[in-house]
Amino acid sequence: MNDKRLWEPLELIRTRRSTRRFAKRPVEEEKLAAVLEAGRSAPSGGNNQSTHFLVIRSRKVLDELAELAQAAFAAMEETPGMYSSLRSSVRRSKAGGYVFHYNAPVLIVTANRRDHSNNIADCACALENMMLAANGLDLGSCWINQLKWLNEEPSILALLRKHGLQEDERVYGALALGYADTPDGLPPRTPLPRTGNPVSFIDD
């Protein structure tokens, strides 16, 4: 076995961590293009290739999105079985000053056709590829779910449609992307422990 080949892809994958504090420094066009190529290279159900990448760098649109999301979450009520991350968005929106995209310089929204049965999985593969490419390029990134939770919210649909979202498309995830606001400018990379994600072997 070629140890180098064993080590490198695993290292890229193991050291991917979420970045939630971003520097204002913009992402170079070349790096952004590589991240997008990684996303576009993801597999898709039936090779459907219907993931649509909305790359938002406009401060105005990012601010509008944050305000609309905060208003939508603030209008929700917490329910007993509510997903904990969604509950946190609701609470923080009611408190005010909530910016779901961490003010990253780039937000890549992944949309897909509402009637494509593999839409969530296809977007997830594209997002995972982009997070790995970002890590390999010394960029920080973080999976963003808020626009998926709000993917039928009329105000957000209207804004995104003004900027290219198609009528039959909905958002199934997003990626905050940029340089990490850390002393060395690098994203965190020490792998978090995996105490869950169990494995069962079924052998003869």
Radius of gyration of the chain from Cα atoms? Answer: 18
Interatomic CA distance for residues 65 and 41, integer angstroms: 27
Q: Considering beta carbons, is residue 84 or 96 the nearer one to a second copy? A: 84
Footprint (CB under 8 A) of a second copy, residues 136-175:
136-138, 143, 145, 163-164, 172-173
Applying CB under 8 A, the span of 33-41, 71-79, 90-98, 177-185 interacting with a second copy comes to: 33-41
Burial class (CB in 10 A: 0-12, 13-18, 19+), 138: middle
Q: Confirm or reject binding of residue 190 to a second copy (CB under 8 A).
A: no
Footprint (CB under 8 A) of a second copy, residues 61-120:
61, 81, 83-86, 115-118, 120
Q: Confirm or reject binding of residue 126 to a second copy (CB under 8 A).
A: yes
Interatomic CA distance for residues 53 and 163, integer angstroms: 11
State how far Cα 39 lies from the chain centre.
11
Q: Considering beta carbons, is residue 28 or 168 the nearer one to a second copy? A: 28
Residue type for position 26: P
Q: Which of 135, 146, 171, 179 binds a second copy (CB under 8 A)?
A: 135
Residue type for position 50: S
